[in-house]
């Protein structure tokens, strides 16, 4: 494997770990505050967007140049609303209607959508390693959600709806921003995407008030919110940045460690219980990650071709 590929693997695995940790932390925050999903996301998106763009300005980078190119800023706005905002909103709503692990697992239907899209566009089946990884990831997701029996799935219609939309938006924000990132850089695209997404949600969610939100927080819940904001921002930067070095299919599948991390933290911290088949599902997801990191010749040859997405 070439050095850049090593970097891409490190970025996506680290980003997935941070995101997996954030799910149970968000669930804890909702348990201990009166924050709504919209309240939380307005704060998260605005904080992250302003922080990233502020850093770029401090580094004397021209963050406004993109707005002189209509084709690019139109795509940026699409990414901000459909990718960044919708992706996070549907995930948080799924979490709120079910739990952190379920929300994370719904997100991992996204790689299946990506794989189908790539295969359809290229009119070529995925590589052997990718197919095996898909099978392992899907099997792991099934066992984690059902504990080996479909009858054990107990989700509301809203949870299923938001979960499905989470998968779709996951695929979109994985595939859509690649050309923008290559031209403008990860930090600028993610920063603008978060800031624009936060502004749009703030305009739609007129009930939002910083004063009201502050009144619902204690020192403990404020510190937790701050940790979540920082870890969430870092996870998105690492995830989107990994697209420079890895294919969309690889990035989507490698991030399948997220539900495993979320499950471990939920068991150890939130005291949620998981059955033997769910633990087996976690093992399958780890196998999927291992399959994708093996230096198979077929995989290496296809990485370059898939980067044209």
Check whether 81 has a pLDDT greater than 90.
yes
CA distances in angstroms from 139 to 116, 147, 193, 197, 279, listed in the order given: 17, 11, 33, 34, 12
Lowest mean pLDDT, pick from 46-50, 54-58, 109-113, 226-230? 109-113
Check whether 137 has a pLDDT greater than 60.
yes
Check whether 158 has a pLDDT greater than 60.
yes
Average pLDDT over residues 87-106: 88
Written as six digits, the tokens of 70 are 């209509």
What share of the chain in percent tops pLDDT 70? 91
State the pLDDT at residue 293. 62
Per the model's pLDDT, the better-predicted residue between 162 and 299 turns out to be 162
Q: What is the pTM of this model?
A: 0.80
d(CA 228, CA 222) in angstroms, rounded, equals 10
Give the CA radius of gyration of the chain.
Answer: 19
CA distances in angstroms from 285 to 142, 143, 144, 290, listed in the order given: 11, 10, 10, 9
State the pLDDT at residue 299. 40
10-64 tens-digit pLDDT = 998 899 899 889 999 999 999 999 999 999 999 999 999 999 999 999 999 999 9
Check whether 302 has a pLDDT greater than 50.
no
Check whether 89 has a pLDDT greater than 80.
yes
State the pLDDT at residue 237. 79
Closest by CA to 282, choosing from 104, 94, 140, 110, is 140
Check whether 71 has a pLDDT greater than 50.
yes
d(CA 142, CA 150) in angstroms, rounded, equals 9
CA distances in angstroms from 62 to 66, 72, 184, listed in the order given: 9, 15, 10
State the pLDDT at residue 303. 38
* Terminal CA-CA length for the chain: 21
Per the model's pLDDT, the better-predicted residue between 288 and 209 turns out to be 209
State the pLDDT at residue 200. 97
- pLDDT-derived band of residue 159, with 50, 70 and 90 as boundaries? confident
Instruction: Out of 110-114, 155-159, 165-169, 274-278, give the one with best mean pLDDT.
Output: 165-169
Contacts of 124 (CB under 8 A, 6+ apart): none
Contacts of 100 (CB under 8 A, 6+ apart): 23, 24, 26, 27, 262, 266, 270
Per the model's pLDDT, the better-predicted residue between 44 and 309 turns out to be 44
State the pLDDT at residue 304. 36
CA atoms within 13 A of residue 6's CA, in its CB half-sphere: 3
Q: What is the average pLDDT value for the chain, to the nearest integer?
A: 84
State the pLDDT at residue 166. 93
Lowest mean pLDDT, pick from 22-26, 97-101, 122-126, 267-271? 122-126
Average pLDDT over residues 279-287: 81
Average pLDDT over residues 65-85: 96
3-state helix, strand, coil in the chain (%, to 5): 80, 0, 20
Contacts of 49 (CB under 8 A, 6+ apart): 191, 192, 193, 194, 195, 196, 197, 198
SS (H, E, C) 24-79: HHHHHHHHHCCCCHHHHHHHHHHHHHHHHHHHHHHCCCCCCHHHHCHHHHHHHHHH
Check whether 218 has a pLDDT greater than 90.
yes
State the pLDDT at residue 298. 43
Closest by CA to 254, choosing from 281, 282, 292, 306, is 292
Domain ranges for the chain, please list them.
3-306
Written as six digits, the tokens of 263 are 């499950």
């Amino acid at each position: 494997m070439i050095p850049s590929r090593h970097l891409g693997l490190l970025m996506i695995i680290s980003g997935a770990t941070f995101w997996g940790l954030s799910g149970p932390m968000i669930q804890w925050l909702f348990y201990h505050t009166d924050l709504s999903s919209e309240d939380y996301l307005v704060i998260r998106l605005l904080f992250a967007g302003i922080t990233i763009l502020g850093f770029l300005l401090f580094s004397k980078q021209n963050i406004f140049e993109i707005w002189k190119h209509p084709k690019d800023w139109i795509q940026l706005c699409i990414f901000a609303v459909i990718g960044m905002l919708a992706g996070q909103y549907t995930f948080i709503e799924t979490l709120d209607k079910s739990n952190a692990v379920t929300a994370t697992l719904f997100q991992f239907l996204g790689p299946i959508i990506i794989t189908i899209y790539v295969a359809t566009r290229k009119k070529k089946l995925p590589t052997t390693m990718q197919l095996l990884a898909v099978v392992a990831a899907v099997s792991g997701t099934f066992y984690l959600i059902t504990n080996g029996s479909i009858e054990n799935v107990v989700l509301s219609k809203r949870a299923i709806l938001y979960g499905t939309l989470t998968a779709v938006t996951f695929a979109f924000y994985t595939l859509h921003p690649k050309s923008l990132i290559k031209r403008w850089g990860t930090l600028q695209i993610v920063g603008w995407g978060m800031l624009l997404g936060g502004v749009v949600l703030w305009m739609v969610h007129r009930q939002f008030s910083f004063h009201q939100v502050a009144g619902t927080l204690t020192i403990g819940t404020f510190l937790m919110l701050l940790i979540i904001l920082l870890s969430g921002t870092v996870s998105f930067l690492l995830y989107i940045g990994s697209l420079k070095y890895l294919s969309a299919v690889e990035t989507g599948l490698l991030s399948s460690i997220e539900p495993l991390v979320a499950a471990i933290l939920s068991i150890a911290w939130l005291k949620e219980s998981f059955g033997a088949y769910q633990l087996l599902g976690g093992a399958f997801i780890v196998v999927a990650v291992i399959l994708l990191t093996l230096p198979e010749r077929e995989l290496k040859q296809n990485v370059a071709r898939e980067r044209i997405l």
